[in-house]
Structure 1
Amino acid sequence: MTWRQRPLPLLPPLLPPLGSVLSRLPAYPGSWLFARMLNASLAPQLAADTKAGLEGKLLRLRVSNLGIAFDVSWRKTGFAPSAPQATPDLAIAASLHDLWLLARREEDPDSLFFRRRLVLEGDTELGLLFKNAIDAFELGALDLFLRRLAPFSRHATPKDAA
């Protein structure tokens, strides 16, 4: 079993108390970190027309089982954190586990969507634009980040982090 096949590092019994704590924290620091991660991994790969389509649009990623959300928008040269607003242009929601599987390319967004484990709300055209950008995304920096998380997996061994 490779590191990509390992389960999410967090144990399910820890999620409710973790979610309770995280949901009480201010939203901005998490959105800032999420924007930085997107800028390091996804932004360099976005086509000019995708950047134009994202310009000024508020995107929200909600981790449904933790009760937290990250708000970002594209601003000319990259993703920037945004203050939470009542209605984002596009909201994407899934459990931490399903987001982990998506990030590691172990689960297809379409199959999660049709099984109602991935929820997209808002501008349909923007949702398709973002989904197509993610589908064309080469793992690169995100793959390195995920490899560094591997030792924290329940079943990982030190050689998995290499």
Structure 2
Amino acid sequence: MVRSISVPVLARLALGGARVGIDRVDDAMIVLLAARRRLVSAVGPAKRATDAPLRDAGREERVHERARNLAARLRVPASSADHLIDTLITDACMQQAMHPGAKADGAGASANTHRQDQRRDRLLRLIPPPRRWRGALSLVPRAVLDTFAERALSTTLASSLQDDWLAPVQRRRVGIEVVDLGLSWVLEVDGERLRRSRGPAEAMVRGSATDLLLLTSRLEDADTLFFQRRLMLTGDVELGLTVRNLLDRLPWETLPLGVRIALHRAARGLRAARDAHATVV
């Protein structure tokens, strides 16, 4: 007589097998990191010989862009790809800084890096958080802010509008509220154009200026932001879920490169400033 295997036993076997697989993938990642570091070791001397700077913002942005494109094809969150590439770039910079003139134990480089981080944090804390911009923005005529927001969003979504990417929300009123700036708009997709609507929002997306910009620049994915309640959806549940799915699927690669670079730098700057303010006790 064949004895059946209980569900808990099967679950433990599946868990054990998955963990073995994860360990093998982790091993492969370390091997790939070692291979990357060997290549980086040839880059440092070449940079010094040509007086090239240690950091190349354009090159780093292209590396991030390649990673995001591959991540999108493999259904990996863009934020996870960005965090991984940031870690690899930081490791490469530290490796290149450790040329023969540096201390062998790395103490000098570590101390210098720590001082640079402290200076950076002090400078970032000079950037006021978005909530402090609210008073200044209140002096700007609302019509100017509305026109700017409509044009900025229309430019960002231009290709999506032409390709019917936003067809599921045609003629539906979706609101955006930037809570720390005290700004909100109700928008409606009308054919191949995005326009402001005077009617009430059927669904509303609420979040801080920083988190909304991180979402727009694809440095954070919608699922993470909504799960952590840094973004919130209210109103029509079905429409809200449709909007949430569209935010994750918008064809970011169709934006002009200059716009993508500007969005990334602004989002990273605001995120870094927020983190620096958060470290103040």
SS at match of 1:13: coil
Matched residue, 1:144? 258
Q: What do the CA deviations read for 1:47-89 (whole angstroms, capped 9, x no partner)?
A: 64842x3233222211111111122211122101234x5x411
Structure 1 residues not aligned, in runs of 5+? 156-162
Which has the larger displacement, 36-45 or 125-134?
A: 36-45
Matched AA of 1:119: M
Distance 1:28 1:142 in 2: 27
- The number of equivalent residue pairs is 150
SS at match of 2:255: helix
1:98 to 2:211 alignment: yes
Cα 1:82–1:30 shift into 2, 3 Å: farther
Matched AA of 1:56: R
Matched residue, 1:71? 186
**TM-score normalised to structure 1 length:** 0.71
Considering fraction of residues, name the structure with more helix: 2
Cα 1:11–1:97 shift into 2, 3 Å: farther
**TM-score normalised to structure 2 length:** 0.44
Task: Kindly indicate whether the alpha-carbon contact (under 8 Å) linking 1:10 and 1:153 is maintained by their aligned counterparts in 2.
Answer: no
Matched residue, 2:227? 114
Deviation at 1:25, TM superposition (A): 4.1
Cα 1:73–1:146 shift into 2, 3 Å: same
Distance 2:144 2:256 in 1: 20
Sequence identity (%): 26
Matched AA of 2:258: L
Which has the larger displacement, 16-25 or 119-128?
A: 16-25
Task: Kindly indicate whether the alpha-carbon contact (under 8 Å) linking 1:93 and 1:120 is maintained by their aligned counterparts in 2.
Answer: yes
Matched AA of 1:109: A
Deviation at 1:129, TM superposition (A): 1.9
Matched residue, 2:149? 34
Deviation at 1:12, TM superposition (A): 5.5
Matched AA of 2:246: A
Bigger Rg, structure 1 or 2 = 2
Cα 1:131–1:109 shift into 2, 3 Å: same
Task: Kindly indicate whether the alpha-carbon contact (under 8 Å) linking 1:73 and 1:79 is maintained by their aligned counterparts in 2.
Answer: yes
- Relative contact order (alpha carbons < 8 A, sep ≥ 6): 1 or 2 greater? 1
Matched AA of 1:29: V
Matched residue, 1:160? none
Deviation at 1:144, TM superposition (A): 2.6
1:16 to 2:120 alignment: no
